[in-house]
């Protein structure tokens, strides 16, 4: 079976009993009549299987709202709801609630990261313990080389710890395999990288649309307009059709922030998101982050700027791979 991330199943109207049972226990959104179903998954599915599924869904009088891509073998002929539901269930990654009780959302437990280099082992994190509650705005500070980016990379699952665990809403994210990790990240995390990491061959609006395409979190026809709104939010909509190489570092940084917000993630991890911005623009980004926190999001932001750090709800300071203030 192909491993494809499944992000959301949206059903309009009432399903018959067979389909209801097939999707039982999954995060299915029912809305409106006539009955319609949307199954959003990753972009890599086998097209012939997909067409078979679509035909079958039509047979069952369940018009599709949007593209369904399902990783099942064969031509899809004679597929039953149970056959569709099974791979979906196996791949299904729950989306974190955007708001909810103020319990611990993120827990770093005895986190150790040792980089192995030809020059020897380098302990970049030495037993980090940290709990972050839902709705906190955490500034991560510390000298260059203290381990800030390393810690963020463990939390986002971009790199694996040497030992210890990262729990997000009680999910041990490093116990997920690569494909589940990427689907989990796509749904739950917006990451702003220290060096932006925009795709150089895509325009800004394409860069911002890409996470939505990968996740299917928004219907195809809404994605471009949403991307444009996000570019407006960070005040670079006029550059939407330019390539990253055609704009300034600060503008690239703002595009990276827009991209991180693309799927409306409950958690945002931003590594020096204002490092290339002038004071006024940085100020606007912090105000945007504060606004997102007011909406129930949880933000971890690395910064060198003490004034900006003081506007977060909490400051965590690292020195030589250890937390010296939290
Ligand atoms: N891939 C790697 N291989 C070996 N050592 C690494 C690697 N990445 C980081 N390090 C080392 O780990 C330490 C922590 O690096 P990290 O990038 O986390 O620091 P930082 O606090 O983000 O610094 P800055 O403020 O300069 O971005 C540094 O001493 C760095 O040289
Ligand atoms: Mg760094």
Judged against a pLDDT cut of 60, whether residue 104 lies above it is answered with yes
Indicate if ligand 1 lies below 6 Å from the C-beta of 316. no
Contact yes or no for 88/9 (Cβ under 8 A): yes
Question: Which tens digits make up the pLDDT trace of 208-231?
Answer: 998 887 776 677 888 899 999 999
* Whole-number pLDDT of residue 158: 86
Indicate if ligand 1 lies below 6 Å from the C-beta of 195. no
At 149, give phi and psi (nearest 5°): -65, -40
Indicate if ligand 1 lies below 6 Å from the C-beta of 144. yes
Indicate if ligand 1 lies below 6 Å from the C-beta of 128. no
The percent of residues in the chain predicted with pLDDT above 70, rounded, is: 67
Cα 44 to ligand 1 centre (Å): 34
Which of the four pLDDT bands, split at 50, 70 and 90, describes residue 22?
low
Q: What residue owns the CA closest to ligand 1's atom 3?
A: 115
The residue with greater pLDDT, 220 or 100, is 220
Indicate if ligand 1 lies below 6 Å from the C-beta of 142. yes
* Whole-number pLDDT of residue 74: 34
Which of the four pLDDT bands, split at 50, 70 and 90, describes residue 171?
confident
The residue with greater pLDDT, 131 or 213, is 131
* Whole-number pLDDT of residue 79: 46
* Whole-number pLDDT of residue 96: 56
Q: Give the range among 25-39, 139-153, 161-175, 199-213 with minimum mean pLDDT.
A: 25-39
Indicate if ligand 1 lies below 6 Å from the C-beta of 147. yes
Cα 146 to ligand 2 centre (Å): 8
Per-residue pLDDT, averaged over 29-45, amounts to 42
Question: Which tens digits make up the pLDDT trace of 133-167?
Answer: 999 999 999 999 999 999 999 999 889 999 999 99
Q: What residue owns the CA closest to ligand 1's atom 1?
A: 115
Per-residue pLDDT, averaged over 10-21, amounts to 56
Across the chain, mean pLDDT equals 77
Per-residue pLDDT, averaged over 67-76, amounts to 34
Indicate if ligand 1 lies below 6 Å from the C-beta of 145. yes
Which of the four pLDDT bands, split at 50, 70 and 90, describes residue 274?
very high
Q: What residue owns the CA closest to ligand 1's atom 19?
A: 145
Is the C-alpha dihedral spanning 70, 75, 81, 85 positive or negative? negative
Cα 303 to ligand 2 centre (Å): 9
Q: Where are the domains of the chain?
A: 6-91, 135-143+174-325
Which of the four pLDDT bands, split at 50, 70 and 90, describes residue 16?
low
Q: What residue owns the CA closest to ligand 1's atom 5?
A: 115
Contact yes or no for 143/154 (Cβ under 8 A): no
Judged against a pLDDT cut of 70, whether residue 4 lies above it is answered with no
Which of the four pLDDT bands, split at 50, 70 and 90, describes residue 84?
low
Q: What residue owns the CA closest to ligand 1's atom 6?
A: 115
Which of the four pLDDT bands, split at 50, 70 and 90, describes residue 185?
confident
Indicate if ligand 1 lies below 6 Å from the C-beta of 94. no
Cα 40 to ligand 2 centre (Å): 34
Judged against a pLDDT cut of 80, whether residue 92 lies above it is answered with no
Per-residue pLDDT, averaged over 103-130, amounts to 94
Q: Give the range among 88-102, 128-142, 248-262 with minimum mean pLDDT.
A: 88-102
CATH 3.40.50.300 fits 135-143+174-325, yes or no: yes
């Amino acid at each position: 079976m192909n491993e494809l991330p499944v992000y959301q199943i949206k059903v309009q109207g009432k399903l018959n009993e067979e389909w209801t049972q097939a999707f039982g226990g999954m995060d299915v959104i029912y809305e409106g009549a006539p009955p319609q179903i949307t199954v959003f998954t990753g972009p890599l599915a086998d097209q012939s299987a997909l067409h078979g599924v679509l035909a079958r869904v039509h047979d069952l009088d369940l018009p599709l709202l949007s593209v369904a891509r399902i990783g099942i073998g064969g031509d899809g002929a004679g597929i039953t709801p149970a056959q569709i539901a099974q791979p979906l269930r196996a791949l299904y990654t729950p989306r974190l609630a955007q708001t909810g009780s103020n319990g611990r959302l993120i827990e770093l437990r005895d986190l150790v990261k040792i980089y192995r280099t030809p020059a020897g082992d380098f302990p970049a994190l030495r037993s980090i313990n940290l709990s972050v509650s839902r709705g906190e705005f955490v500034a991560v500070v510390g000298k260059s080389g203290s381990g800030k980016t390393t810690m963020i990379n463990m939390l986002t699952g971009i790199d694996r710890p040497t030992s210890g665990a990262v729990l997000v809403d009680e999910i041990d994210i490093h116990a997920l395999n690569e494909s589940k990790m990427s689907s989990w990240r796509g749904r739950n995390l917006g990451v702003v990288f220290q060096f932006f990491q925009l795709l150089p061959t895509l325009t800004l609006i394409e860069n911002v649309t890409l996470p939505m395409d990968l996740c299917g979190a928004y219907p195809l026809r809404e994605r471009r307009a949403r991307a444009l709104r996000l570019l407006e939010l960070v005040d670079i909509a006029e550059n939407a059709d330019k390539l990253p190489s055609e704009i300034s570092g600060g503008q690239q940084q703002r595009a990276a922030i827009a991209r991180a917000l693309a799927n409306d993630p409950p958690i945002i991890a931003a590594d020096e998101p204002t490092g290339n911005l002038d004071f006024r623009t940085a100020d606007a980004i912090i105000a945007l982050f504060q606004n997102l926190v007011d909406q129930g999001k949880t933000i971890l932001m690395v910064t060198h700027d003490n004034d900006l750090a003081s506007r977060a709800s909490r400051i965590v300071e690292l020195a030589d791979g250890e937390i010296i203030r939290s």
